[in-house]
Structure 1
Amino acid sequence: MQNVKIKYYPNPPVVEQNITFELRGTIMEKVTSGRVYTSVYFNNFPPLKETYDFCYILSYIEDIQCPVPAGDVHYKYAVFAKNSILPGNYSATFTLTDQMNDEVLCIKLGCEITE
């Protein structure tokens, strides 16, 4: 993926409010399937690591389906920050691989979630 721009708001995220994420960029080749590998750290505690099916995750974002054609993309997704989320410092890495297990995108972010 090229020309990637990511933003989230509000910045900083606030517990009991929506956090909206936007991703823009250009996919160089069609993606028919893949995996999303995640690692999330809270206040430097050992990470929560999960792997998800890329096409399954996409189905939650504006009802997008696989395959994803090459070209420009704009994804927007909002998630509610439940009151069970602890305020503190978070860092995360999300890596997307395609049907050939080639890395398409790697996102690293960090933020402080406030009350």
Structure 2
Amino acid sequence: MLIAVKYSNTVWLTVLFTVISANPLMKNPEIEAQCHHSSCGTSSDKIQNVTVSYAPDPPQANKNVTIHFMGTLTEPIDKGELNAQFFFATRLVKNETYDLCTLLPDVNHTCPVSPGPFGFTIVTHVPPSYKIPPGRYAGMVNATDANQNVLFCLTGYCIVYL
């Protein structure tokens, strides 16, 4: 479901951001999906005003989609972790924790990250429609700093019908 990148953890995170932020398959008359994404964060998160958008909207099967993540970092980040969970139906397919500072170079950032506007863009390939089985896809991504303070939290799901 992804671009070819050098780290498998980036591949899984791109899948997760695709599920969270996009309706991952439309423009095929044989497939319908209902998708939703939202913040699971609070007013005390270290990254505020989080938005996730994508282009084209809606994404198209067998084409690239560009996913934009933006927010405002309220405090510097010296180190942290990112936890990613990906579900198909009710089955947990992937549950991984990553060193945040190891991931940031893949999106053109390095630790420490200074307060202020913070964003990145991921380009991924949406698979052909015949490779997308019907069912419920869900994901959650949350990040914490070294003191376990929440940086951000996003959840999303798509229900795919044939």
Distance between the aligned counterparts of 2:160 and 2:54, measured in 1?
12
Match of 2:27 in 1: none
Counterpart residue identity of residue 45, structure 1: R
Q: 1:20 matched to which residue of 2?
A: 66
1:72 aligns with 2:117: yes
Structure with more of its chain in helix, by fraction: 2
**CA 1:74–1:5: 2 relative to 1, 3 Å:** same
CA contact (8 A) 1:15 1:87 kept: no
Gaps of 5+ in 2: 1-46
TM-score by length of 2: 0.60
1:49 counterpart = 2:90: no
- Is the CA contact 1:15–1:113 (under 8 Å) kept in the aligned structure 2? no
**Structure 1 stretches of 5 or more lacking a match?**
none
1:103 and 2:150 aligned: yes
Q: 40-49 or 8-17, which moves further after superposition?
A: 8-17
Alignment RMSD? 2.6
Distance (Å, rounded) in 2 between the aligned partners of 1:31 and 1:48: 26
**Normalising by the residue count of structure 1, what TM-score does the alignment of the two structures yield?**
0.80
Decide which structure has the larger Cα Rg and report it.
2
Looking at secondary structure, tell me which structure has more strand per residue. 1
1:93 aligns with 2:140: yes
Change (3 A) 1:32 1:103: same
Identity of aligned residues (%): 27
Which one of 22, 47, 50 corresponds to residue 4 of structure 1?
A: 50
